[in-house]
Chain A
Amino acid sequence: MTDLNELTEVRALFDDPPAPSAQVVAAARRRMAEDGRSERRPWRLQAGLAGLTAAAAAVTLAVATLGGGGSEPPRPEQPGATENKVGGNNILLAAAAKAEREQVGRYYRTRTVAEPVVYAAPGGYVVARKSESDEWAPRSISDAYVAYHRPLGIGPATGADQAAWRKAGSPRKFRVRTADDPRTITLAISGPGEWETFRTTGAERKRLCKCDVEPWMEREKLASAPGGLERLLFPEKQKQARLGDRPLRIDPANRLLGSYDVLTEAASPKVRAAVFRLLAGQPGITMVDGVRDMRGRTGVALVGRGTTIGGAGGVFDVQLIIDPKTYQVLGKQYVVVTKGGRFPGVQPGAVVERHAVLEAGWTNESPHH
């Protein structure tokens, strides 16, 4: 089987458009000459540019600012889960200390199982499309980046969903609505698919990046500057502030989602430790003991509430689950607090968009799975 390369596939999707006609080029040139300011004038911010940032922010992260929900205590979502604020910071500080002692290897390997797409089925249960990934991000720009990926199929999301699905007569097909899109589609239960390999060679990475060091090392540089970690995790905030727009309030849910990305991607021990420490000092983030991840493992969840911009998408509690013994990140998931368009038909209390981290860390092994 030949290896795939995501960027080549994306490039192939877009056909080369015909060149603009001579008239189009001439019209554009005329527009520039006639409408352009030829004198040096005081600069004014284009209104459109500020509006654009708001539009971009609206979709940049699934959950964003607005509601003051962050200060409300999240309710424990699962039987046996209890709120625990006191022990929480200790766990984060211990996690930071452990992260700092880790050794950088040749590859950062992240194995995950995820439900990137979930649907509410008419029978009152949630159906998810699941997949498994095994990603190897190299320390050196000269090494290949390799990711193995396979679909795990479509089926009821959790044990409770499985039970509800059986009660509904175990249908093989169901019509569902998709998130942020008013289409109705018919889904059929399916099983796991084949593994596929995605590879980008060192030479191609160098050509694309035109850099000598790995992007993850650059992140370390950024993170070690004053305020740099915040800039790394929440770039939109800085940009908006610079454009003079109303500063974007980064709510606790966004802090957790940004942190999850850095904690499960190639990053230096220093950066990972800094993210844990940053989380320890965050207002609006609470700790809940005894939260189960999608693999049934129990951990301590950092919980932060977020509302989609405009509120129509719903209100969620984002949970970042950590193993209290090994301090490994076990996963992340959303608990629906208020129904909305992001997961149409999904009831409050449902746990959706679950991601389980099976393995994350530096290794000296070569890519395989």
Chain B
Amino acid sequence: MTTGKSLAAAPPRAAASLHDPEGFGEVFDTYFREIHGYAAKRLGRDAAYDVASQTFLEAFNKRHRYDEARAGVRTWLYGIATNLIGKHQRSEVRGLRARARLGTAADRAEGHAERVDDQVSAEGLRGALADAIARLSQGDRDVLLLVALAELSHEEVAAALDIPYGTVGSRLSRARKKVREALGGTNPMLDLEDDHG
């Protein structure tokens, strides 16, 4: 995530040009690829275009309402993108669960199915982790992924999601607990069947 950091430090000039329709192109050029990458990680490439292009359309339309004092441009864009990703919540959860099943299938292929007390394979752990993230509430997942993937600070997450600062810490600690459950546990999903989801 080196890109995220270097961009975060980059351009106060982008903020200055926000209110000018022509100048908004600069904001687009600076951040589009990063926001697209964030959406692609959470939703896959197809939905990433929708989310990223909609993010910039909304940002453009809302540019007069942008409050520089409250959030940096990058934070503001992540907030819009995260809200849009929330509309694809089902598809995000479906994707994570598919990855959880892949992990389980890998375990089975390695003959772990009957050996539940064993530590699961690396793929199995990834599966358990994906499953844990799928089980988080949307609010907790947003905070976890804004910190882990976008490397936003707590203050930035609060501004991006429009929630109190103190809530960010609570949500993050709740999400981390669930992640620990997944990483520290034996994989409970040994044999997936009757999958109607």
With A24-B49, A129-B188 as contacts: A11 and B149 at CB distance below 8 Å: yes
Interface of B is mostly: helix
Choice from A38, A43, A133, A235 contacting B65 with Cβ under 8 Å: A43
Partner-B contacts on A (CB < 8 A):
4, 6-7, 9-11, 13-20, 24-25, 27-29, 31-33, 35-38, 40, 43, 46, 48-49, 51-52, 55-56, 59-61, 116-117, 129, 131, 133, 135, 137, 147, 149-151, 153-154, 175, 181-188, 190-191, 193, 196, 198, 208-211, 215-216, 218-219, 221-223, 231-232, 235-236, 238-239, 242, 261-262, 265
Query: Do B83 and A49 touch across chains, with their CB atoms under 8 A apart?
Result: yes
Please, what's the 1-or-0 string for B28-64, where 1 marks a CB less than 8 Å from any CB in chain A? 1000110011001110010011001100111011101
Complex Cα distance, B195 from A117, in Å, reads: 19
Complex Cα distance, B31 from A32, in Å, reads: 14
CB distance from A231 to the nearest CB of B (A): 5
Choice from B36, B60, B64, B181 contacting A32 with Cβ under 8 Å: B60
With A46-B58, A149-B181, A183-B193 as contacts: A191 and B117 at CB distance below 8 Å: yes
Complex Cα distance, B24 from A222, in Å, reads: 35
Complex Cα distance, B56 from A48, in Å, reads: 16
Whose C-beta in chain B lies nearest to the C-beta of A261? B170
CB distance from B5 to the nearest CB of A (A): 9
When distances are taken between beta carbons in the complex, the residues of chain B under 8 Å from A16 are 37, 41
Query: Do B183 and A9 touch across chains, with their CB atoms under 8 A apart?
Result: yes
Interface hits, B171-193 → A, CB 8 Å: 173-174, 176-181, 183-186, 188-193
CB distance from A149 to the nearest CB of B (A): 4
When distances are taken between beta carbons in the complex, the residues of chain B under 8 Å from A17 are 37, 40-41, 45, 48
Query: Do B60 and A193 touch across chains, with their CB atoms under 8 A apart?
Result: no
Choice from B32, B173, B183 contacting A25 with Cβ under 8 Å: B32
Query: Do A13 and B126 touch across chains, with their CB atoms under 8 A apart?
Result: yes
Choice from A20, A36, A60, A198 contacting B52 with Cβ under 8 Å: A20
Please, what's the 1-or-0 string for B56-90, where 1 marks a CB less than 8 Å from any CB in chain A? 11101110110000000000000000011011010
Query: Do A52 and B195 touch across chains, with their CB atoms under 8 A apart?
Result: no
Query: Do B166 and A223 touch across chains, with their CB atoms under 8 A apart?
Result: yes
Query: Do B138 and A56 touch across chains, with their CB atoms under 8 A apart?
Result: yes
CB distance from B70 to the nearest CB of A (A): 14
7 A-B contact pairs sorted by A residue (CB < 8 Å) = A10-B133, A11-B149, A31-B56, A55-B89, A196-B183, A208-B147, A261-B174
Q: Does B169 contact A (CB under 8 A)?
A: yes
CB distance from A75 to the nearest CB of B (A): 29
With A7-B148, A10-B144, A17-B48 as contacts: A52 and B86 at CB distance below 8 Å: yes
Choice from B36, B57, B164 contacting A31 with Cβ under 8 Å: B57
CB distance from A126 to the nearest CB of B (A): 14
With A215-B165, A215-B169, A235-B167 as contacts: A183 and B194 at CB distance below 8 Å: yes
Query: Do A37 and B61 touch across chains, with their CB atoms under 8 A apart?
Result: yes
Whose C-beta in chain A lies nearest to the C-beta of B1? A11
Query: Do B87 and A51 touch across chains, with their CB atoms under 8 A apart?
Result: yes
Choice from B64, B89, B174 contacting A40 with Cβ under 8 Å: B64
